[in-house]
Amino acid sequence: MDSLLLFFFGVVAGFSGSIVGLGGGFIVVPTLAFLRPDLVPSHITATSMAVLLFNSISSTLAYTRQKRIDFTAGAAFAAASIPGSIIGALAAEHMSGKGFFVGFGCFLIFISLFLVFKPKNPLKLGLPVTVRRSFVDAIGTRFEYEYNLWLGVVISFFVGFLASLLGIGGGSLLVPTMTLLLLFPPHIAAATSMFTIFLTAIVSTGTYWVRGDIEWWLVLFLAPGAFIGGQLGARVAAKLPAKLILRILSAMLIIVALRLITK
């Protein structure tokens, strides 16, 4: 029964994480904490990261076939977020105040509401455009957008830092950043976020593997479900309108925020 539950929650995590580019950690972590209360927190986080790696591989493959990943942006964002995540992991050992988690959870709720009720005119910070993108995906939809790459790199460093410090997936911060500040189309933001998560998850999973924190017998049941869910989520996302993706993203950010507030 536990094996079937793990597989089921793996599918749910992979599907929900892939559809908006968050990754499934916000579902895997509480699932493991509930089903396996004997596990220490570090092993739960490590196991979740290993599952996230399989989910991100699946999603990246699916989104690559759809031709919706901005590989240049994704690689640059991952390169910046990796050192940020290392610093965040070191700082997490000294973070014990509940006020910080509650405050940041409230901030995520504000961001989620802003995604739904954001103004019609895009947010422009007055920075010069360094990258202009125009391409057609696999079904013939044209995407055109422009952004400041260096702003994305700087923000990605802090995304990696906060994601590691708070124990949440980087996508919960990266996707809103890409859609609100860098003006990525929601479909491209979700696809590129999963590619970025894939690159960073390789480093994180490898680190946890060396430390011996990963419970591989749990990954054995969660990962196949996450892989299947990643494929399904990417396929469903391709058929959803951009506004609906933002609303789903908003709802999932609220779930992440509530988890932080009750942490």
Q: What is the pLDDT of residue 72?
A: 92
Does the pLDDT value for residue 37 go beyond 70?
yes
DSSP state of 44: H
Integer Cα distance of 12 and 232 in angstroms: 10
Q: Is 146 helix (H, G, I), strand (E, B) or coil?
A: strand
23, two tokens: 């990754």
Integer Cα distance of 79 and 152 in angstroms: 11
Size (the chain), residues: 263
The torsion angle over the Cα atoms of residues 243, 249, 254 and 259, rounded to 10 degrees, is 170
Per-chain mean pLDDT for the chain: 83
Q: How does pLDDT run across 126-162, given as a tens digit for each residue? A: 778 889 999 899 889 999 999 999 999 998 998 888 7
Does the pLDDT value for residue 9 go beyond 80?
yes
What confidence tier does 219 reach under pLDDT thresholds 50, 70, 90?
very high
Kind and range of the H or E run holding 153: helix 149-166
Cα–Cα nearest to 179, from 153, 147, 134: 147
What confidence tier does 256 reach under pLDDT thresholds 50, 70, 90?
confident
Q: How does pLDDT run across 63-121, given as a tens digit for each residue? A: 999 999 999 999 999 999 888 877 876 675 565 566 666 776 787 787 777 767 665 65
Amino acid at 160: G
